[in-house]
């Protein structure tokens, strides 16, 4: 069974984030979406170990400076609950290589909203842009539709909190 714990990282360079357009994997919940890089924990890994391994596997880059920004809980019909450790990184070494999960592209932060993003990703990307302090976010989906969002246990962004 796959771990319910994952990492996601937005690597920064010159006012851009490295984004992954998920177009290659079959049966991919993220199919055709643009996301950061990351993935599921392996047995015994810490969040940072998972972060560094996933970034290296997906991009060929070695992170040198990163920041743990928040934890995001995802609930979606037909999928197990996922707990995602959200990071940004601002220093790395190495050469970007092709990713077998999709296409990697440096996207200006100002243009992120034009991409095919999950609605919840738009919310936490806004928090990253505002340099919000460490946060906990809960996102509930029905299919591709975000039906509720909570930030630090309270209703967020006009999306009703679950169970209210």
Predicted pLDDT of residue 164: 37
3-state secondary structure (DSSP) of residue 59: helix
Predicted pLDDT of residue 116: 87
pLDDT per residue as tens digits for the range 7-65:
999 999 999 999 999 776 666 666 678 989 999 999 999 999 999 999 999 999 999 99
Q: What are 159's strand-pairing partners?
A: 156
Q: Is the pTM of this model over 0.95?
A: no
Q: How far is CA 158 from the centre of its chain?
A: 21
CB-CB neighbours of 63 under 10 Å:
20
Taking the domains of the chain in order of start, what are their residue ranges? 5-155
Predicted pLDDT of residue 64: 98
CA–CA separation, 98 and 34 (whole Å): 15
CATH of 5-155, one of 2.40.50.140, 3.50.50.60, 3.30.70.2190, 3.90.79.10: 3.90.79.10
pLDDT per residue as tens digits for the range 90-128:
999 999 999 888 899 999 999 998 998 999 999 999 999
pLDDT per residue as tens digits for the range 117-158:
999 999 999 999 999 999 999 999 998 889 999 999 998 866
């Amino acid at each position: 069974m796959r771990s319910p714990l994952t990492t996601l990282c937005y690597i920064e360079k010159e006012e851009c984030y490295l984004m992954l357009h998920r177009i290659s994997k079959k049966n991919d919940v993220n199919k055709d979406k643009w996301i950061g890089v990351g993935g599921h924990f392996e047995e015994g890994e810490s969040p940072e170990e998972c972060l560094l391994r996933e970034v290296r596997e997906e991009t060929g880059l070695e992170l040198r400076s990163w920041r743990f920004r928040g934890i995001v809980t995802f609930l979606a019909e037909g999928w197990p609950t996922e707990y995602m450790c959200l990071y940004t990184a601002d220093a790395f070494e190495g050469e970007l290589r092709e990713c077998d999960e999709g296409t990697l592209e440096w996207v200006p932060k100002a243009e992120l909203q034009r991409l095919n993003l999950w609605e919840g990703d738009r919310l936490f990307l806004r928090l990253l842009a505002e340099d919000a302090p460490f946060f906990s976010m809960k996102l509930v989906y029905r299919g591709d539709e975000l039906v509720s969002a909570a930030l630090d246990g309270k209703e967020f962004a006009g999306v009703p909190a679950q169970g209210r």
